[in-house]
Amino acid sequence: AQKITQTQPGMFVQEKEAVTLDCTYDTSDPSYGLFWYKQPSSGEMIFLIYQGSYDQQNATEGRYSLNFQKARKSANLVISASQLGDSAMYFCAMREGLSNSGYALNFGKGTSLLVTP
């Protein structure tokens, strides 16, 4: 079963506007971590932000913030003041504390974001 679901295959946003990329997850493990990565067209994966399941506050990193709603099992990424360089694929990922894959991450299928002038 898919553990990470990203329902938006593609999104458009105008430069300087904010955009929310959706991510829902499925786990029965009380201890887990949620990650967002950016993948530009060059292919490398760039870490953006992390949220632990026990963290009381939503994570923020510069223009990135994570809207963590634990009861709804959602971890949406909010990008404020979008820039043209934000155009890329965005992946949500999860690491479970009781995973049988060590510390590997389980990735969603991604959302393609296009920022327009």
Judged by CB under 8 A, does residue 78 bind other proteins?
A: no
Q: Which residues contact 101 (CB under 8 A, 6 or more apart)?
A: none
Q: Is 97 in the site for other proteins (CB under 8 A)?
A: yes
**One residue of 60, 70, 109, 116 binding other proteins per CB under 8 A:** 109
Selected range binding other proteins among 16-24, 61-69, 74-82, 103-111, rule: CB under 8 A:
103-111
Give me the residues that bind other proteins (CB under 8 A), please.
Answer: 4, 9, 31, 33, 35, 37, 42-45, 47, 50, 52, 91, 93, 95, 97, 101-110
